Amino acid sequence: MTKQIEESLEKIPVINWLVAFGKKIKIPGLEGMSLYDVLEMYVIGIVKGALTTRAGGIAFSFFMAIFPFLLFILTLIPYIPIDGFQDGLLSLMQEALPPKTFEAVDFVIKDIINNQYGGLLSFGFLASIFLMTNGVNAIFGGFEYSYHVTEMRSVFRAYFVSLAVSLLMSFFLIVTVTLIIFYQIALTRIHKIGWLNTGDLDLFYYGRGFLFLVMIFTIVSLLFRYGTKQGKEVKFFSPGAILTTVVSMFTFYLFGIYVVKFAQYNQLYGSIGTLLILMLFVWLNAIILLLGFELNATIYRLKRKNKARVK
């Protein structure tokens, strides 16, 4: 398959020069494999792995898990002894969602807040854990259908790992909101003392953005590490996690511009257009997540292939 692809590319002007150039660039840690080898295997995995179909399945399951996840977090709020945690959570969500979509989510959140389910042992809370775990399990299922993945977990083990990872994701979200609250308090005290005019420098805006970026990167790395059996070989600062985080932030910025200046969903579909925008946003991020995973899976497969050749 590789020789056929190389022979086809060598017949295309300019492309054949890029192929030759890519073969000269050796990537550290891959035992002499070139940039071309990585890109070729990466593209093969994307084309043969039905990327958009898997992203659609992940987006649907993840969209269905968003509100149970919020129910889980909001039920925990009374047990978190931090003033302003709920407001901090809503503020972070408003920043994370595309423009003009928070209103639809805010309505559901206020309904959940006004109709509490009675604590940690209520049926609603336990059901939220189950549905939240289903969303993470759908992501892991999308990983396992990759062209480069050959080993799969059993159904029960996969669900147990999904439950553990979903709880860890909730923990990282709580930690991020807590750090944002403490960071805001610290900036307020610094401003009152007179050491620094924090308002003019927008330190809270940049600091909150940095903490949000760290949370996204941590969660992505967590998903890549425990998403498949081979994920234990993936390091925390993996190329796929870096790619996913950078591209998702860039996409969020461009998607915000698209929603504000070009999208006409509300005029065509009315209020349901907001949910369509949110669904499209989730689908795009599912594709980006799979692209990052495919990069890690490609590098892992090439490493195993090289080790087999050496032996």
The pLDDT score that the predictor gives to residue 13 is 66
Kindly report, residue by residue over 68-87, the tens digit of the pLDDT: 777 777 777 777 777 777 77
The pLDDT score that the predictor gives to residue 173 is 85
The pLDDT score that the predictor gives to residue 1 is 46
The pLDDT score that the predictor gives to residue 217 is 92
Both structure tokens of 265: 């969903």
Q: What is the mean pLDDT of each run of 10 residues along the chain (311 residues)?
A: 60 67 64 66 71 81 78 75 75 73 68 59 72 85 78 82 88 86 80 65 76 89 85 79 87 77 62 74 86 83 66 52
